[in-house]
Structure 1
Amino acid sequence: MNDTTPNPLLSEWTTPYGVPPFDRIRIEDYRPAVERLIAESREAIDRIATRPEEPTFANTIEALEFAQQPLERAMTLFYNLNSAETDDAMQALALELSPMLTDFSNDVMLDPRLFDRVKRVYEAAADDEFEGLSAEQRMLLEESYRGFVRSGANLDTERQTEYRAVTNELARLTLRFEQNLLAATNAFRLHLTEPDELAGLPEAVRDAAAAEAKAAGLSGWLFTLHAPSYIPFLTYSERRDLREKLYRAYNSRAYGGEQDNSRIIVRIADLRLQLANLLGYRTYADYALENRMAGSAERVNGLLDELLERAKPHAEREVATIRAYAASRGFDGTLMPWDWAYYTEKYKAATYDFDDEATRPYFRLERVQEAMFLLAGRLYGLSFKENKEIPIYHPDVRAFEVYDGSGGDDRPMAILYIDYFPRPGKQGGAWMTSYRQAYRDPETGEAVIPIVSLVCNFTKPTEKRPSLLSFSEATTIFHEFGHGLHGILGRGSYPSLTGTNVRRDFVELPSQILENWVAEREFLDLWAAHYETGEKMPPELIDRIEAARRYLAAYACVRQVQFGLCDMAWHSIAEPLDEGCDVAAFERRATERTQVMPRVEGSCFSTSFGHIFGGGYAAGYYSYKWAEVLEADAFARFRERGIFDPATAQAFRSCILTPGGSEHPMMLYVRFAGHEPTVGPLLEKMGIGDGAKGR
């Protein structure tokens, strides 16, 4: 590529289906493209703000929806790659681009001419009770107006200046938080050279660690803080001293040292409070939850309190059972968190005759992928075809065309990328994202298909074994595929309202409900087979999976409530925190009543709590429990009528997946289920309640 080559970020993408031309984009392309696209977006916005005609839905609200699309296309690409395939140069560039983009966003949302037009359309439509607008158009109008108000459009000049400063600093700090977390995660390596240090580890775990060491130019075995390495080590290693070392490293990431996030999260919490106060809210939680399905901090805290009240006594009994079991095996001392995975796995194997590792031979990655596609076919009539001509951003990534068998169309309805394996430039965990949401082109009226991506961190195949997933890992990829189906099946005219662009505490319903099928005998019988012999998963192993589903359910619930309460505490402060705030002490006070295991001195999960300080879950981590209530209630309907029942699946598709954010989520849910959800089915699923209590 030479200097005369057009910048691909400024050109039409002639790739198949308009996917990003990953192979043509250089790091040097981003900054000049962003500068030009911001300038062009300013011109487009200015044309809307200065139109001589009276403001209408079409010339103001709809025009705004598409005015920044070229810039959004480039930045969606950049930020997705900054999570999945980053390096030092890209992270440095992210810090450079952040203030430019925040300034531009503020200029748009704080433009009095633009807000005046939006407000006039909103008030005129409200006076006419929104007659003449479809439900989707009405939602876009309401979201547009509310977006301006929640972004400071009603503030006076002095407070708008303060708002700009706050949002700029927040954008920079959340990026810095993520960069520190990735660096801290990558910085720790447990390099083992003696065979006795591997005691208890399954062969597959040893092979993966040997491959990791070889890739790093080392002999022996290398373990890291990435999930495919960290979780099996804590689960199976007989070396308690090494388990402790790994646990302490993981649970003190970015807490002290060169990548310390302590001061950053205190500052983020204070800035979010300042932003909320500017907009007239007492706390950031009040501000954030106004725009969520839950609606208020009181309702969120009520759910968390009820779950804790119901689950904690059961969790304490579960912990007592594991303590007694460990003692029966000769353990002498205090059971610590780095012992938990080890002894709970041993107890599960002894009590339920179930070992998560025993499921791996039946969950070869390729078979799990086939199973995901099979389920999407059975439920929604979808089919998937790999296309190796579609550009990808890393050799590990696979690209698929998605077809809708129910529509009779020979053109794909979506493009799906799947990126399975860890690498240094990828954030930990698993997530779904989109490179493009579905929408209808405002000029041609043609439907534009979505581009969806699933990103995971599973064990890579080695020279000896293919990539084999545990039952819990298989559940993880089905979870993300549930998000993916939300993006794939979402349809509508406006990209900001399609796919996963829904309220944060509704977005986990499609993902969490899909996890249920992984443990259903009727589904497993269709595909789960031993990777060497081809024999189906034995019925007795499926029975053990089913029996073990409720294992430690109360403990897991309390753990999630702990994260939710910590999140709510950081975002419910009504006064700024002291600059020298002890973040570990703050976390301890917020979560004290959830503690069922000894607290580890020197640990602090807040500094690595990426969901709330780097992602979009601030005052929203409760969403996982909220969505569990929804999915347990919804899956009960599938259980009643059959897990592949076409009518129930079609109702879920048409009421939940396809509409996206075009209507209020409770309206969508009631349309599907016929009633508002209650907490009863979740308690029944966990085996800890009679289902009598509602939310």
Structure 2
Amino acid sequence: MVYKTPPQAPPTWTLTPEQITSEMETVLAEAKKLEDEVSALPEPSFNSVIKALADASNVRYGLVNQLTFYQHISADKEVRNSSSKAEEAFRDFDIESSMREDLFKAVNAVYKQTPDVDPESKRLLEKLNLDFVRNGLALPVETRDELKALQKKLSNLEVQYNKNLGEETGFILFTAEELEGVPADVVAQFAEVEGKYKMTFKYPDLFPVMKYAKNPDTRRRAFVGDQNKVMENTELLIQAIKLRADIAHLLGYKTHSAYVLEDRMAKSPEIVMTFLNDLREKLSIAGKTEIAKLLELKQADEKALGLPEDSSFNVWDYRYFDRLLLEKEYEVDDQKISEYFPMQSTIEKMLKIFEVLFALEFHEVTGADRSVWHEDCKQFAVWKNDTGTQEFVGWLYFDLHPREGKYGHAANFNLSPGYTDKDGKRVYPVTALVCNFSKPSASKPSLLKHDEVVTFFHELGHGIHDLVSVTKYARFHGTNVARDFVEAPSQMLEYWCWQPKELKGLSSHYEEPSKTIDDDLIDKIVKSKHVNGGLFNLRQLHFALFDMTLHTSDGNIDVTETWNSMRQEIALMQQANETTYGFGSFGHLMGGYDSGYYGYLWSQVFAADIFYTEFLADPMNTTNGLRYRDTILKPGGSREELDNLKQLLGREPNNVAFLSELGVGK
């Protein structure tokens, strides 16, 4: 089809610190003005209250998301600081807004009228009313004032924590000898300082050192350094745990987890803990067997290297010996595999998978037409074509390489949700993938290891969810679903990275583009999928159970001791006599996943069920892809997630596929 001009221009990314502040103030002033007007209405109605608030918040979501996005991607520290302060102001306003008794009375009056509206509008009304109830509007005024003060304090802690994490610039200097075993092209990208090599804690630096450095003390220093890289955050999290417990008690909940989970698919801490502990019991048997095998490998390796024998298996040993096991017993060589996944062509082929499955088209914007925040960015206009005519879907951005001050992990950011505006016109979404893959070197393009291919596919899944969702209200758009379901669509798409035919289709040797990955190597990758899967998932359980332990407490808990002891008890990893403070960089706990980390494992149940039922027999089945797109992705959070699942599967979801995939049985 001929490429058309999109009906909606992309955002511009040229704001100065002063402009960010000015726009933030305008957004807040307009929002407050509307809330004052709505609250003063003598006869509240659905249109005068709910629709008026929804129309305004539809627009505001995009403005807020973009103004606060600069802190994660701008190369200018002043811009990042201004963006971070804007987020703090927006959060404070949201707290004030959520505690307005006059606004609650207006919303609640409409709620009691039970207006005859469409299902999505009814859901919006119910959610708005429940938000106020959960924020304590039924409490006495003095208690509400106390609650508001605590919420603001907590919000400020969260903003500061994430700012510290984003601004982190720590490093360790290693000699060439200490880095023996680390691939030369990785070391070549390290800056040289006084004859030593500077390893930052960004993933492209850290992970190769953890996986390849032969010297166990190098691995120990790298691991401990990374864990303790933002020490100022440890106290912020400790304070946040206490504040969350205090807020929950004021609201009448036993714990913070009880408060959070009331509005999730799981519903209660008891259900979550049963799920996690049951999984821990099943996985621990496998984990102990895997540790014993890795320890044998470690002792043989130490003997060959002339190192003193060590009978313990430490957490900093895991990546190194996991890699060694894959190379020796499965002949899976990350470096060799990465030669078949040059980033540019791999991404192009990934997009083609979505073109087939979901009937999409991706048109990259180049030259003077580009509207990006950094030269590394890619910008795409996305269309769909399953109706016989091209329909615009939205804007997609990729920002894929590390740089100073940039968000340090891999994530999808919904920069502007889609919705129907007050005139009935469709407003299209804008979404971005922000990752940290290695930059091209002088001799090679950026090459993706297989786990990076999986990571990219996962995050792109979130982006596609944003793009293909069509909802009336921004509140329900795309990934704005129950937090313990949000990962399921992306986890489901990871399966494509383990299917032989699809994996071959993604590959292309960087030196010989016509050469795809050998069938023998694909077979080895697929067989390696769940090697040390017990330990991998026990690590996830350490994070999830740590999160739940903190948030089912009264806040008076030794966070440091809990973090360290639970790692050894659950993840089965020792750490000599090192005390680590990894919770200071556990961004999920201060970024909306508090009492929610279990969701990564919980949602895998749904992901496995969907893939095994709909796609295992034929991963590129367009009919099933479109049905999945329209049943699960398109509604966003406008319907109950369980209802969508039952509609797609034709039954209640179950964990049979999930347990089968892990090889642990029922």
Give TM-score scaled by structure 1 length. Answer: 0.90
- Whether 2:132 is the aligned partner of 1:148: answer yes
Q: Does 1:651 align with 2:627?
A: yes
Deviations 1:94-114 (CA, angstroms, capped at 9, x unpaired): 564455434422332222222
Counterpart CA distance in 1 for 2:609 and 2:570 is 25
How far 1:315 moved relative to its partner?
Answer: 0.5
Deviation at 1:525, TM superposition (A): 2.8
Instruction: State the secondary structure of the residue aligned to 1:469.
Output: coil
Larger CA deviation: 555-564 vs 270-279: 270-279
Aligned counterpart in structure 1 of residue 120 of structure 2, from 113, 128, 136: 136
Instruction: Give the equivalent residue in structure 1 for 2:306.
Output: none
| Residues 637 and 648, structure 1, Cα contact 8 Å, conserved in 2 | no
Aligned residues of 1:272 and 1:284 also touching (Cα < 8 A)? yes
Residues 631 and 103 of structure 1, relative CA distance in 2, 3 Å threshold:
closer
In structure 2, the CA distance between the partners of 1:503 and 1:464, relative to structure 1 (3 Å rule), is same
Gaps of 5+ in 1: 1-13
1:6 counterpart residue number: none
Q: Which residue of 1 aligns with 2:220?
A: 244
Determine if contact 2:58/2:473 at 8 Å carries over to the other structure: no
| Structure 1 equivalent of residue 180 of structure 2 | 199
Is 1:186 the equivalent of 2:169?
yes
Structure-2 change in CA distance of 1:592 and 1:353 (3 Å): closer
SS of residue matched to 2:189:
helix
Alignment partners' CA distance in 1, 2:385 and 2:587: 38
Letter in 1 for 2:413: T
Q: Deviations over 1:450-508 (max 9, x none)?
A: 10100100000011110000000010000001101100111011001111111101110
Distance 1:587 1:376 in 2: 40
What is the CA–CA distance in structure 1 between the aligned matches of 2:555 and 2:315, rounded to whole Å?
33
**Comparing 400-409 and 167-176, the one that deviates more:** 400-409
- 1:20 CA drift (Å): 2.3
Deviations 1:321-354 (A, max 9, x none): 0111222334421332222211221111111111
Moved more, 339-348 or 533-542: 339-348
Give the distance between the partners of 1:95 and 1:653, measured in 2 at CA: 35
Q: Residues 67-82 of structure 1 correspond to what in structure 2 (within 5 A)?
A: 67-69=56-58, 71-82=60-71
The alpha carbon displacement at 1:201 in A equals 1.8
Query: Which AA in structure 1 matches 2:340?
Result: Y
For 1:140, what is the secondary structure of its paired residue?
helix
Give the Cα separation in 1 of the matches to 2:656 and 2:152.
43
1:617 corresponding residue in structure 2? 593
1:211-236 Cα distance to aligned partner (Å, 9 max, x none):
xx17xx87764321111110111101
- Pairing 1:315-464 to 2, within 5 Å after superposition: 315-331=287-303, 332-333=309-310, 334-388=312-366, 389-443=369-423, 445-464=424-443
Rounded Cα–Cα distance in structure 2 between residues aligned with 1:424 and 1:379: 37
Alignment of 1:114 onto 2:103: yes
Opposite residue 448 of structure 1, the aligned amino acid is: V
CA RMSD for the aligned pairs? 2.1
- Between the aligned partners of 1:455 and 1:341, the Cα distance in structure 2 is 24
Q: For residues 37-186 of structure 1, what are the structure 2 equivalents within 5 Å?
A: 37-52=27-42, 54-69=43-58, 71-85=60-74, 88-93=77-82, 96-97=85-86, 100-125=89-114, 132-183=116-167, 185-186=168-169
Correspondence 1:396-545 to 2 at 5 A = 396-443=376-423, 445-534=424-513, 535-545=515-525
Mapped to 2, the partners of 1:379 and 1:437 lie a distance apart of 22
SS in 2 for 1:435: strand
Alpha-carbon distance, 1:275 to partner: 1.4
1:263 has 2:235 as partner = yes
How far does the alpha carbon of each residue in 1:589-639 deviate from its partner, in whole angstroms, 9 at most, with x for none? 5555304121352212212111012x1100000010011111111110134
> In 2, Cα distance between the equivalents of 1:218 and 1:657?
53
For 2:212 and 2:484, the matched residues in 1 are separated by 35
How many residues end up aligned between the 2 structures?
Answer: 652
Shift of 1:287: 0.5
Give, as a single letter, the amino acid of the residue that structure 1 aligns with 2:358.
Y
Q: CA deviation at 1:58?
A: 2.1
Deviation at 1:665, TM superposition (A): 0.8
Post-superposition offset of 1:582: 4.0
CA distance in 2, matches of 1:435, 1:31: 18
Cα displacement (A) at 1:91: 5.0
Change (3 A) 1:588 1:526: closer
CA distance in structure 2 between the aligned counterparts of 1:103 and 1:380, rounded to whole angstroms: 39
> Secondary structure of the residue that 1:525 maps to in structure 2?
helix
- The answer to whether the 8 Å contact 1:84/1:425 transfers is yes
Verify the 8 A CA contact 2:350 2:506 in the aligned structure 1.
no
AA in 2 matched with 1:647:
T
Given the alignment of the two structures, is residue 605 of structure 1 paired with residue 550 of structure 2, yes or no? no
> Cα offset for 1:387?
0.9
SS across alignment from 2:507: coil
User: What's the secondary structure of 1:75's corresponding residue?
Assistant: helix
Give the Cα separation in 2 of the matches to 1:555 and 1:592: 12
2-structure distance, mates of 1:590, 1:134: 48
Shift of 1:124: 2.2
Identity of aligned residues (%): 30
**CA shift for structure 1 position 69:** 4.8
User: Which residue is equivalent to 2:533?
Assistant: 553
Residue in 2 that maps onto 1:21: 12
Cα distance in 1 for partners of 2:651, 2:195 equals 60
CA distance in 1, matches of 2:359, 2:91: 42
Deviation for aligned residue 1:649: 1.3
CA shift for structure 1 position 205: 1.7
Matching residue of 1:36: 26
Separation in 2, partners of 1:156, 1:590: 40
- Residue identity matched to 1:381: A
Aligned-pair CA distance for 1:306: 0.9
Seen in structure 2, the aligned counterparts of structure 1 residues 371 and 315 have a Cα distance that, compared at 3 Å, is same
1 CA distance for matches of 2:60 and 2:660?
Answer: 48
**Contact 2:564–2:579 (CA<8 Å) still a contact in 1?**
no
Q: Structure 1 residues 104 and 336 mapped into 2: Cα distance closer, same or farther (>3 Å)? A: closer
Contact 1:37–1:70 (CA<8 Å) still a contact in 2?
no
SS of the residue corresponding to residue 403 of structure 1 reads: strand
2:605·2:654 contact (CA, 8 Å) conserved in 1?
yes
Letter in 2 for 1:362: Y
Q: Which amino acid aligns with 1:688?
A: V
Q: CA 1:222–1:457 in 2, change beyond 3 Å: closer, same or farther?
A: same
Instruction: Give, as a single letter, the amino acid of the residue that structure 1 aligns with 2:582.
Output: F
Q: Pick closer, same or farther for the CA change 1:69–1:657 going to 2, 3 Å.
A: closer
Letter in 2 for 1:262: T
Where structure 2 has 5 or more consecutive residues not aligned to the other structure, the ranges are 304-308
The 3-state SS of whatever aligns with 2:465 is: helix
d(CA) in 1 for partners of 2:196 and 2:275? 48
